Amino acid sequence: MHNPFVPETLEGWSVLHLMYRVRWDRLRGRAAAERDRLAADAARALAVPDAGATAMVQILGHKADLMFVCFRRRFDELARAQLALSQTELHEALEATTSYVSVVELGMYEMTAKIHEQLGTKHTPGSDEFDRAFDAEMETQRQRVMGRLFLELPKGRYVCFYPMNKRRGEQQNWYSETFERRAAMMREHGMIGRHYAGRVTQVISGSIGFDDWEWGVDLFADDPLVFKKLIYEMRFDEASAKFAEFGPFYTGLQFAPGQLAVFLNGGVPGLT
């Protein structure tokens, strides 16, 4: 049975963020050629044999040195990627600082209301006929936005990742607001994001039931100032000003897998 007060979601890539601090003391005595070999083995471990991608990011600041973002079809493939990396020799010089598990998610506030309204004129809400018709329409919508659910890895040089919640406090509780109010606030929120189309790629992933926060947000851009301007502007909309809670931010430079050796040898790795 489909609850008309709960917005439907469509899901795509399974996502695993792995953040590590490099134990440079364990690499310092190694020759450059040996570091090249360690990097090549790690890159092979995270390579995608079928569908998916792995983003490699040099993190700025003390929270981590490296972040690997794995996009795969299923959790089983995320498990294989994590295990493959853990079996490499380079992993002995990596110290995990945190991780994040989620699934690319497309919220369907507007479409949920529209489908309920349209199907309600043909079928009794809650009936088997209504649910079958609803599921069929959602599958149609899923096929329509498949490119957004299973998007190609964005090529932006700069990456920002952060987890977030919708507030559930005594005074402000997102989930106790009416569907119409939540939909209106998300419409306003989405309009701000659309103003940055072409300058930033946003990857929203749902993590309710998977990790400690409710959503993960990955931003990719060619200019890191876009992150500051976008997030700052969004904090003035009602959905963020009243209901958003943010976790730690991880910001860094995306680089090509073949550049991991450059990083291990003390250089800033490039995107190509």
What single letter denotes the amino acid at residue 25? D
Q: Residue 190: which region, alpha, beta or left (left: phi > 0; alpha: psi -120 to 50)? A: alpha
What single letter denotes the amino acid at residue 35? R
pLDDT category at 133 given cuts 50, 70, 90 is confident
5-9, 30-34, 61-65, 71-75: range with lowest mean pLDDT? 5-9
What is the CA angle 263-269-272, rounded to 5? 140
Q: If DSSP codes are grouped into helix, strand and coil, which group holds residue 166?
A: strand
- Residues 201, 157: Cα–Cα separation, whole Å: 11
Task: Flag whether the pTM goes above 0.85.
Answer: yes
Per-residue pLDDT at 5 exceeds 80: no
Rounded to an integer, the average pLDDT of 49-69 is 96
- What confidence score (pLDDT) does residue 130 get? 85
Question: How many other C-beta atoms are found inside a 10 Å radius of the C-beta of residue 213?
Answer: 19
Average pLDDT, the chain: 94
Beta bridge partners of 102: 15
Query: Which residue's entry shows tokens 């010089």?
Result: 93
Per-residue b or e along 184-208, where b marks 16 or more CB atoms closer than 10 Å to that residue's CB? ebbeebeebeeebeeebbebbbbbe
Q: Which of 62-66, 131-135, 191-195 has the highest mean pLDDT?
A: 62-66
Residue of 162, 175, 232, 250 marked active site: 162
Per-residue pLDDT at 1 exceeds 70: no
Rounded to an integer, the average pLDDT of 18-29 is 97
Rounded to an integer, the average pLDDT of 127-139 is 86
- Residues 82, 69: Cα–Cα separation, whole Å: 11
Catalytic site includes residue 20: no
List the domains of the chain with CATH numbers.
13-104+257-264 (3.30.70.1030)
pLDDT in tens, 142-156: 899 999 999 999 999
- Residues 208, 252: Cα–Cα separation, whole Å: 25
